Structure 1
Amino acid sequence: MSSTGEEIAATAEPGASALASQDGVQSNPADQLVEENESLQARLTTTNAELVHSSARLREVEHQLEEQEKIYSEAAADQQKDYIAQCDSLKADIASLTSQLTHLKNELSSAPVTDDNRPATPAGTNVTDGLQKIQRVFKVVLVGDSGVGKTTFIRHLCLGQEAANATSSTVGVDFYTKLMTVQGQCTSLKIWDTAGTERFRSITKSYFRDANGVLLVYDVTAVKSFSHVRQWMGDILENADDHVVVMVLGNKTDVVAERLEDDSVLTNHGRTLADSYRSLFAEVSAKTGAGIADAMAMMIRAMQDVEDEQIRRTRLAVDVDNEGKSGSRSCC
């Protein structure tokens, strides 16, 4: 009986020993959870860091994209402005050429003709007499703010009062011609009527080149147009020739009631500003025509004097050059 118990105990001991050995090899479940939690925590930290980095990179890329879009939009806007300016310039050229064609047709239709459709020549004159009649040719440019009455002024001068009353805002540039006899000389005026709006400002500047005279018009009933005279003067001084004759011209003197208000320009103010630029000064009414002929005659006389002085200096320079050449030959 005791031997049997010993056998059972002997038999049970190996199993218990094996179980104890197995427990020694396997880790504690609580430790495993801790390790897994730490591993997950480390992965979470790494993932968060990657997320932060990716978010920062995304914001950087979005910022670069916004900058590129801004650059492209600005470039597109500038290109669009260039296209608009080119279109405006072409429209102005077309309007100018159309106006010139209309005036030439009017001059041609008003000229007397003979039976063989050639212009009639007065008896006792040569065919060249008509060409010799025009002794001076001057280019004159009208500038000033929109609405000051430039077109009304020039249409009254060239076409009469009835035509002056039917005017609209100038688009780009318009062209007129006028013959006037001043100081016994027949003078042909080639007059360019420019738009006063800002969008045509760059086009207007190009017409100052080779101009003999510039009429800078303002509205005597609108002090704002008078305050812009200095800006227009800056454009003239920058783009016109040094010898150009400039006249500061106050228009709408017929509106007496409005001129008595605060928003008006007195005559002495206009004259003082013109004197500061050594320019001519006059006041007119483009509506009634008062003062227009006198103002243009004053300007033509000034342009004639400038041209005479240029001719005198040119001849003097040629004479000095010829004397120098003659002296050098005699010395040899």
Structure 2
Amino acid sequence: MRSVSDPVESVHTVAHDPSYSTRVKTSNVIKLLLIGDASVGKSSLIISYCDDIFLENSTKTTVGVDLKVKVVNVDGSFFKTVIWDTAGQERYRNVIPSLYKGTNGVMLTYDVTDPKSFLGLYHWIQECYENCDTSRTVFYLVGNKLDQENKAVCKDDVKKLLTFVKEKYPGFKINAAFEVSAKYSSLVYGLFDTVIKDLVENRCYFDEQRLRNKRSIDLSTTRDDLTRKNSCCSY
């Protein structure tokens, strides 16, 4: 486990420019999903990365799901990163499983000052394992609110969780564990940039245009086949 402020050995670089979203067209898409209990700061992390804003005293709760899109440049190639924000409250959890389809990366988020939110990861990991294609999805642990003094989740807790996952959920890839604070944009940018670089390096993204063309071809083929089958019996 490390903070993203630690040196990261990577040959990849990520560049940001607000104008990318309006002037750059790309069909490379990364679908990134943040899940975790309520009030761990998922929305704050996303807003900090996409809008470069930290809402100090915000008490707004995500209702259902929300998303933000940010286009980034990774070594000269552009990627549209679609970041999904999910509600952690029990009453909204039934809508989350449908989001796992086609997800490239999942950030399992908890509050480093709240042990209960960390224990909640055991539920979220099981849900991911049951709904994700683990051969195509990479997972990351993200402890938020590192700026708070009353830290209650330690490295041993994280190691115990990683060991549990390795033994119980074969094929479930947790590539890294981070501790950050949405209050500090440098840590937030380091977190998301590192995750995006890792996904690109592992080719965990998709070509939106190619996928759209494939669906179009499939639908066309199905329609033609249906016509051929029914033509001899139609009046």
Please classify the TM superposition score into its range, dividing by the shorter chain length: 0.5 to 0.7
Match of residue 137 from structure 2:
244
Partner of 2:31: 139
Cα deviation for residue 140 of structure 1 reads: 0.9
Match of 2:153 among 224, 249, 265: 265
The count of corresponding residues between Structure 1 and Structure 2 is 181
Instruction: Give the deviation of 1:274 after TM superposition.
Output: 4.0
Question: Which whole-Å deviations, capped at 9, do the CAs of 1:122-148 have from their partners, x for residues lacking one?
Answer: xxxxxxxx32xx363111111000010
Name structure 2 gaps, 5 residues minimum: 1-17, 167-171, 208-235
Conserved in 1, the CA contact under 8 Å of 2:145 and 2:180?
yes
Counterpart in the other structure of 1:283 = 179
Residues 118-171 of structure 1: per-residue CA shift (max 9 Å, x gap): xxx8xxxxxxxx32xx36311111100001000111011111124576451100
Q: Is the 8 A contact 2:31 2:104 kept in 1?
A: yes
Aligned to 2:104: 212
Residues 186 and 278 (structure 1), Cα distance of their counterparts in 2 relative to 1, 3 Å cut: same
Give the match for residue 201 of structure 2: 305
Deviations 1:286-318 (A, max 9, x none): 12234212221221122213327999xxxxxxx
Matched, 1:154 2:154: no
Point out which structure has higher relative CO (alpha carbons under 8 A, 6+ apart).
2
What pairs with 1:1-332 in structure 2 (closer than 5 Å)?
A: 130-131=24-25, 134=26, 136-162=28-54, 166=58, 168-242=60-134, 243-255=136-148, 257-259=149-151, 264-270=152-158, 273-274=161-162, 276=166, 278-279=173-174, 280-307=176-203
Instruction: Give secondary structure in 1 for the equivalent of 2:203.
Output: helix
Whether contact under 8 Å (2:48, 2:182) holds in the other structure is yes
Q: Structure 2 CA distance, aligned partners of 1:188 and 1:268? A: 36
Corresponding residue for residue 44 of structure 1: none
Offset, 1:234: 0.5
TM-score by length of 2: 0.68
Match of 1:87 in 2: none
Task: Call closer, same or farther: CA 1:309–1:150 in 2, change over 3 Å.
Answer: closer
* 2:49 aligned counterpart, secondary structure: helix
> Cα RMSD (Å) of the superposition?
2.9
More helix by percentage: 1
Question: 2: distance between equivalents of 1:215 and 1:289?
Answer: 17
- Could you tell me which runs of 5 or more consecutive residues in structure 1 were left unpaired when the two chains were aligned: 1-105, 112-120, 122-129, 312-332
Q: Distance in 2 between matches of 1:271 and 1:135?
A: 38
Bigger radius of gyration, 1 or 2?
1
Q: Distance in 2 between matches of 1:209 and 1:244?
A: 10
If the length of structure 1 is used for normalisation, what is the TM-score?
Answer: 0.49
The offset of 1:244, in angstroms, is 0.4
Give the letter aligned to residue 270 of structure 1: V
Give the residue type in structure 1 aligned to 2:128.
I
Change (3 A) 1:174 1:310: closer
Deviations for 1:86-139, whole angstroms, at most 9, x for unmatched residues? xxxxxxxxxxxxxxxxxxxx98xx95xxxxxxxxx8xxxxxxxx32xx363111
In structure 2, what is the Cα distance between the partners aligned to 1:154 and 1:250? 14
- The code of the aligned residue for 1:248 comes to L
Q: Secondary structure at the match of 2:83?
A: strand
C-alpha distance in structure 1 between counterparts of 2:198 and 2:160, whole Å: 19
Q: Structure 1's 165 and 293: CA in aligned 2 closer, same or farther, altered over 3 A?
A: farther
The superposition leaves residues 175-208 of structure 1 with CA deviations (integer Å, 9 ceiling, x where unpaired) of 1011222344322111110100111111011101
- Deviation beyond 3 Å, 4+ runs, structure 1: 162-167, 274-278, 308-311
